[in-house]
Structure 1
């Protein structure tokens, strides 16, 4: 798939930017703070309904603006063209597809964007929430049952947590239906996550063998969020007193995690910051590769500040790989990365929120 047009209004320093995009590689170059990362952020919003950048949601809005919007024309490999829109007024997001109101899940299901950026090492070195997001985005795109089970689980979790925070401990009967729902939906979520990870493992292995061969074979380990030898429902009932004391549900699918283990770096602490970044890049490329295998088209790949995140040899290897599979790639940098100075690439200069094509 590829974006053919992208229009951005009110996103950070981009007051009103319209871009026509071509297949292959497009580079957005300019000084720090010029707005080039916000172009990638706009594409990512259409695919995730959130930013890849840390910070308050209000920081997305251009200073003085009370709304933002992103519109795009997306062409699929089979020739279908969809018109996508995502807008935010206050705290509320609204999605559109082909001019009709759509749910956020419908929008995210239509447009797939993966991103490697300066904060990506958090996928390896950060908390479990980022790894669950990575995992669940992938599961959502290949397992159709997932979104229904995930929504039911989140609703039941919210209801149980509300009971746990009540001023007076509620009777057991009020907990039972929500704990039964958590048990049933968590089993589905866990099964689908396991299926996805089984499919992802060979892609991770190939990606990391190319990026970090010195660390040896790699293994992915998954922890579902509760003990393997007992049902979640039984554990929720037995640990209700502890959860009442803490005011929230301490076990379940929302506590799941996974990790990457190398033969020559069995602990995360054994990795340097550079190795963490390359591991995160491998995970990003592996997820894109699995998406392409299952869906018949590559997602759009964003590489933010490529030259500062990767050395020249890794830049060239990644760009060559993505060119060879025909993926649309959006890259940013203060200058055009050396790896992109040879071969076809379209270049935009970004300055004070304005985008001007150079090549």
Structure 2
């Protein structure tokens, strides 16, 4: 796999307060490899989770959002200093009190989208196989994060779509008062923004495909040729506005909109494993890893700097040969890496790295 090397964004300082078991922890990170070692439940993954939150405004872990907050603590906050490839330093902040997230960039209040655009983080972790084997929502999130960082007006289209979807669903649930005159403008808005989102998603997948082919070839050559399939969420034959009008009766019975960009999905099929059900759990993980690496490389090509790469519990997720291959690819790309494990992985033992011991939410630098 070919990588755009030598240029990366890097987190220099990270501070976490009230996040799970991290009461108040501040660390200085190395520009290259950072390893967090300790027993299970010590708080290692929460460090990576903090970094991921800055880039996605959500956790990669499943479960209730309330679980992010340390027990008995009303709020959490994450602060970071991020240096871009042009040496510009950004001070980032993300806080949560109650149900609302608040973001800051360079000390000023900012929209969540501004924060997410500033800081790019990709992550491979024990739940990553859900990208391949799980529900479509996980694949849409992956796709839309990539589109967001390539298409600057994607967020505007996505918000327009979500607003129109919410209004149409509200009309569907109050069917007694809903008329054609009420439905028509929201369906037109829904269709217009959906077609824009669809064009942007297709364009992104066209850019991603060659990177994914190369990444997969390096990790799963035994599965043969790859096919990337995309379904936009409504029939290719008709305009969405026409389909929404035809589907309205059935949607009224269900109480929600069953066609549109929120129903899109994509999948990967291999020559030697045409259905995802034919993949082993290990193959699902490696396919998800290939997707993460391909997306990171595309980001680097588009922005001129590598995103930050988080690898949670790498040693238990991959065998030693694949660990070594991934670490070699990422060090060749010169990406900043944050990695967790119960001990220092063998693939890193000959490489310079900054090692932190994590115990009961406390971090101590070892190397």
Matches within 5 A, 1:109-128: 109-128=117-136
Match of 1:49 among 43, 52, 57: 57
Partner residue, 2:243: 235
Partner residue, 2:334: 326
Matches within 5 A, 1:60-209: 60-166=68-174, 168-209=176-217
1:239 to partner: Cα distance: 0.5
String of CA shifts for 1:212-234, please: whole Å, max 9, x gaps: 00001111100000000110000
1:343 to partner: Cα distance: 1.0
For structure 2, the residue ranges without an aligned partner over 5 or more in a row are: 1-8
Which TM-score applies when normalising by structure 1? 0.99
Partner residue, 2:3: none
CA contact (8 A) 1:34 1:353 kept: yes
Match of 2:265 among 231, 241, 257: 257
Cα distance in 1 for partners of 2:175, 2:158 equals 28
Which TM-score applies when normalising by structure 2? 0.97
Is 1:217 paired with 2:225?
Answer: yes
CA contact (8 A) 2:129 2:284 kept: yes
Partner residue, 2:4: none
Partner residue, 2:43: 35
Partner residue, 2:6: none
Cα distance in 1 for partners of 2:163, 2:218 equals 42
Partner residue, 1:25: 33
Partner residue, 1:306: 314
CA contact (8 A) 2:90 2:105 kept: yes
Cα distance in 2 for partners of 1:75, 1:153 equals 34
Cα distance in 2 for partners of 1:118, 1:239 equals 39
Match of 2:17 among 9, 28, 45: 9
CA contact (8 A) 1:4 1:21 kept: yes
1:22 to partner: Cα distance: 1.1
Cα distance in 1 for partners of 2:175, 2:73 equals 40
Is 1:280 paired with 2:288?
Answer: yes
1:169 to partner: Cα distance: 4.8
Match of 2:362 among 348, 354, 358: 354
SS at match of 1:15: strand
SS at match of 1:34: coil
For structure 1, the residue ranges without an aligned partner over 5 or more in a row are: none
Cα distance in 2 for partners of 1:34, 1:128 equals 32
String of CA shifts for 1:97-128, please: whole Å, max 9, x gaps: 00000000000000000000000000000000
The structure 1 segments of at least 4 consecutive aligned residues displaced by more than 3 Å after TM superposition are none
SS at match of 2:171: helix
Alpha-carbon RMSD across the aligned residues, in angstroms, is 0.6
SS at match of 2:15: strand
Is 1:315 paired with 2:323?
Answer: yes
Cα distance in 2 for partners of 1:279, 1:188 equals 28
1:342 to partner: Cα distance: 1.1
1:191 to partner: Cα distance: 0.2
String of CA shifts for 1:179-216, please: whole Å, max 9, x gaps: 00011000100000000000000000000000000001
